[in-house]
Structures are given as C-alpha cells and as structure tokens.
Structure 1
Amino acid sequence: RPIEAQGAGFALEEGVDALVISADESMLDAAQSVKIQRMERKVEAPSPSGQRTTRLDLSVLEVEKVQEAGVGDRYCLDFLTLFEPGEGVLVGSSASSLYLVHSETIPSTFVPTRPFRVNAGAPHTYVLMEDGTTKYMAELESGDVLLAVKTNGDARGVVLGRVKIEQRPMLKITGINRRKTHQNANLSHVFMQQAETVRLITSESAAISITELKQGDLVLGWEGHDARHVGLPVDGGIEER
C-alpha cells in the first residue's frame, strides 16, 4: 500500500535498499516521494563528528527593561525530537531581531524537565523556520519544521508535534542591539510567560530565567536584517515596534 512505502524507506533510520511495487500510479508516486526524501536526507545528514547542517551568526542583545504585560495566550511548542542543553528556538516580536529561547532541558524546583519542549511566547511572535522563513506562532501546525539553534550558532531542523496554548501571566522583555543605530531599529522586544522555567541564553552561553533578567544583561539573538511579508524577507519601509 502507498502508506507503507514511507515506513519501509526509513525503517530503523536506514530504510530498505529497494522497494518492489506494483505498476499502480499511487504506488509509483509514493515510492518516488520516498526516493526524493532519502536523497535529501543524504545531502543534509550530519558528518560523523556530529557537525550540524546550518550555522547562524548569532548577535548579542542588551536587556533594556523587563515589564509585566498582563495575561496572554502562551504557546508551548512540543517537538518529535529531544533538545540538548544550550539549544532552543529563535522568536521575537520583530522579524529583524529574534531572541534565542532555551528548551526545557534544565531541572526546576517545581516541574520536571520537558526536553522536547520550548515555551516560546505569544501568538503574534515570529519564529524562525528551518528554511529561513518566519511564521507567526499562531500559524504553526504539527508537522512544521522549525530551526533548533545552539549557543554557537549550529542549527538543525526539528519537526513540531504539537502546540499547547494556555492563558498565563506574561512579561515583555525589551532589548537593544548596540550594532544598529537607525532610529528605533536597535530596539526590539519579546513577550514570554512569567515563569522560572522560561529561559533566554546569555552572551556567555548560560541559560537565565526571564524572572531573573535585569537591565544590562546580555542575551543571545539573531538579526534577520529585513522586514517580512508572509514569512519572506522584503525590501521597503516596514517598521516594527
């Protein structure tokens, strides 16, 4: 059956060497799809040393202020794979300045670790996808592929399994990018749940709870350089505040 081609093609992570199929058009299409995915996987696979397939040039944002922001919809992103300590996803209210939010891989006094999860913020927030586009948090669906990023910029694609949305007290974190000087372009912000388990990553690659953030702290992020329209970079006079 066509639905079984995917399972055979990737069984035990390696897959079979060949598929013997009938001349049915649906079977031919399914086999061709598996072949293409196998070829893409060979191109994108990490080297034996564990090197990632992508590297981003991360930037440093200086915390300007942390403010209570009332109650809002908080999005937890649960993935089909486990994160490593020091790894998270890039999110922000402005597509040109995203913040690296740490995964829930660190033990807490109140709750166990959830190494498959990132508590990623509010529905309007941009999140960076594997293909370099962005999506609003509210647009995400199971099966989407986001970019998981480590503190050194190494990155990989991770498949989203589920989104958990709950109303929670939120904080607004405003940061300054000292490398930007044009009007308000150096200012950016992100809204996160007010909880000790929600963490950004400092410029020294240490996770820090957003409830402990203070003015002058330096955290890791990424400069998108361009404004976005339907997730794609565009030229023009778009300003996000």
Structure 2
Amino acid sequence: MKQVFVDLRPWDKELAIAALESGADGVIADLAGPIRELGKILVIAPDGDLVLDKDIREVTIGNTEDQALAMEAAKTERIIVHTSDWTVIPLENLAACGNNVIAAVSTIEEAEQAFTVLEKGVAGVLIQTDNPDLIRNVAKMAQSGSCGKELHRLTVTGVKPAGMGERVCVDTCSLMTDGEGMLVGNTSSGFFLVHAETLVNPYVAPRPFRVNAGGVHAYVQVTDGKTAYLADLKAGDRVSIVHGNGTCREATVGRVKIERRPLFLVEAECDGQKLSVILQNAETIRLVRPDNSAVSVTSLKPGDIILGRIESGGRHFGMAIDETIIEK
C-alpha cells in the first residue's frame, strides 16, 4: 500500500488529528512532542523517530540538474521530493528509480498522479495542505489502491476431501463486502481468492470481517507484495483484502482462530501452471467467480472458472525472490 505522510510545519492541531484519524503513516513536524500528546504515529522531526537529512532526505527540484541528483539519490536512500510544478518535472523519471521516493503534493490530482505513474507509482506522498479533508481523501485513496497485478482466471481441475486438519479463520478489524476476500494458496506461486463470510445462509450469520482462509500451512498475501503463513498471523498484523475487480486495501488482523476441521483440496490450472489450496470442507467456504460472485467449495466441479493469481519465482521469508523453485 502507498504511504501517506502529512506536513505539520508549522504546527496545526486540526491537521494532526486528521492525520491520526485517517490512518496516515507519519508526519513531519518541528517537534515530536505535540503530535505524541494526541496519539501514536511515526514522527519525522529533530527529536522524532526519523530525522531529516539523517534517515530521510528532503530535496527540491527546480531544473534538470536537480532532477538528476534526486534520481541518483533515490537509488540508495529515501527522499522527499518537492517541486513547484509536477507537470514540468516528470514524475515518471523519479518513479523509475525505485521505491524510495515520497512526492510532496497539495491536491488530490497530484496525489492520484503520484500513486499511479508508470502503473506502479512512487512509494508515497507528503501532503502539504491546510485542509483536513484533503488528508482524509488522499489517505482513503491510498488505502483502496490497486494491487498492481491483475487476477487470473483459474480452471478447476479437481475437488476432493483431504481428511482432517487445522484450518485458520482470519478475523480482521474491517468489514468486507461481496466480492472481497484474501489470496491464499498451497504454494508461493499460485493463489486462490477466498471469499469473505459476507453472505447470508441458513447455517450461520454473516461474519463480514472474517475469511475462513484455509490450512495452517498455506500462504496468504499480506502487504507490500509479501506473503505469510496463515499459522503465523496474529493480532495487529496487516493483510491485503482483495476484490475480484483487482483492487485491494489493507486490513488489520484482530484475531486468528485455528480449529480442527474436515478439509477439501481444490486443484486448478492457469496457462498450464498447476496450483492448489486446502480449505475447510463446508458450504460456507467460498471462492470468487470472474463476475465477482461467490461459489461454495462444496459446489465446485472440474471445469468451473474462479479467480486467483499466478506468480513467478520463489519466496524467502515472505519476500519474492527471483529463483527456480519447485513446489507441489
């Protein structure tokens, strides 16, 4: 997810409250004390968590020479970039240098450009404004951004009971809607979009904050393109909530429930690549069709089309790496 910082120079309590309430990642201030009296947030200040020109650099671009220096710096360190006109200074050039660029913005249009340039955007934005609503709107935009990779159509090749085992329910601090869920898979190269428990059924009440995600061994997509084992998730962790249309947002884990249940093995393929996931054998466990509707695992049959994601390479401590790896 893109990061959002708020410039509190000079100090403005109303803007600080907006930053805290909207879930901003951090603020820049002249002193850390006033913001810390209001709540806990990363502070960039002489007495803060990070210090300018030590942990992060602030640069102003006014010409091509400044731009060249900023591009070189962005290769090895995090920088906050200021310019009087983003239409003159090509943001594409900075975004292409890596994930170390925070762009200073003062309008919603500038923030949207920063988040989407070259399809991947810069790492984040520094909001410079006297309008609390702009802070809230930019933060909301960042939190509901695109995953950056389209979902793929998977063809179901097999569905069969897989005995008993421990499965994981992930209860988040967010309410999900129809079409949303989490990307889960038996391997690090293939994920199924497992639908949240948003639907009414005769057996249990909806739990729109929950995804009954699968076996303890499975990988789940979390934030920043990383994965985690379902068994390792705990309260306070961040996970990615993904919609069938490809958009995603971040959610905080509130609780994880691991219980012994009957299991189902779902197998599929996409462009010749095989993938699988082990889920609880229950009518209430659903995957997502291409039209974003939910389909129960107990109704799946070979030939059905569902949504997921195929990735290449391997994983090391949850981070994608470029290596040959065989998982089956």
**When the two structures are superposed, what TM-score results if normalisation uses the length of structure 1?**
0.81
Q: Does 1:215 align with 2:302?
A: yes
SS across alignment from 1:54: coil
- CA–CA separation in structure 2 for the residues paired with 1:204 and 1:156: 20
Is 1:227 matched up with 2:236? no
Shift of 1:18: 11
Instruction: Check whether the contact 1:45–1:53 (CA below 8 A) recurs between aligned residues.
Output: no
Alignment-derived partner of residue 200 in structure 1: 287
Partner of 2:223: 130
Paired residue for 1:52? 144
- 1:114 lines up with 2:123 in the alignment: no
Judge conservation of contact 2:192–2:309 (CA < 8 Å) in 1.
Answer: yes
Whether contact under 8 Å (2:178, 2:293) holds in the other structure is no
Kindly state the Cα deviation for residue 218 of structure 1 after the two structures are TM-superposed. 0.6
Q: Structure 2: 5+ residue runs without aligned partners?
A: 1-15, 50-124, 128-134
Give me the whole-angstrom Cα distance separating, in 2, the residues matched to 1:144 and 1:128.
Answer: 12
SS at match of 1:85: coil
Counterparts of residues 79-228 of structure 1 (less than 5 Å): 79-177=172-270, 179-180=271-272, 186-228=273-315
Who is 2:156 aligned against? Answer: 63
Deviation of 1:105 (Å): 0.3
Letter in 2 for 1:190: V
Partner residue, 1:33: 42
Cα-to-partner distance string for 1:45-101 (whole Å, 9 max, x where unaligned):
234xx9931233000111101111011101000000100111000000011110000
Identity %: 39
TM-score by length of 2: 0.61
Give the aligned partner of residue 76 of structure 1: 169
From the superposition, tell whether residues 45 and 215 of structure 1 become closer, same or farther in structure 2 (CA, over 3 Å): same
TM-aligned CA deviation for residue 205 of structure 1? 2.0
Secondary structure of the corresponding residue to residue 203 of structure 2: coil
Deviation at 1:44, TM superposition (A): 5.9
8 A Cα contact 1:9 1:34, kept in partner: no
Asked whether the 8 Å contact 2:163–2:263 carries over to 1, the reply is yes
- Provide the C-alpha distance between the structure 1 equivalents of 2:204 and 2:28, rounded to a whole number of angstroms: 46
How far is the alpha carbon of 1:235 from its aligned partner?
2.2
Structure 1 residues 43 and 131, CA, compared in 2 at 3 Å: closer, same or farther? farther
Is contact 2:160-2:264 (8 Å) kept?
A: yes
**Residue aligning to 1:4:** none
Alignment partner, residue 94 of structure 2: none
Q: How many residues align?
A: 224
Residues 235 and 112 (structure 1 numbering): CA distance in 2 closer, same or farther, change over 3 Å? same
Per-residue deviation at 1:141? 1.4
- C-alpha distance in structure 2 between counterparts of 1:84 and 1:64, whole Å: 28
Letter in 2 for 1:13: E
Quickly say closer, same or farther: Cα 1:89–1:32, change in 2 above 3 A. Answer: closer
Contact 2:18 2:136 (C-alpha < 8 Å) held by counterparts: no
Q: What CA distance in whole angstroms lies between the structure 1 residues aligned with 2:322 and 2:242?
A: 26
Quick check: 1:64–1:175 contact (8 Å CA) kept in 2? yes
Aligned residue identity for 2:220: V
Question: How far apart are the structure 1 equivalents of 2:325 and 2:253?
Answer: 30
Q: Report the Cα distance in structure 1 between the residues aligned to 2:265 and 2:185, rounded to whole angstroms.
A: 11
Aligned partners of 2:161, 2:169: CA distance in 1, in Å? 19
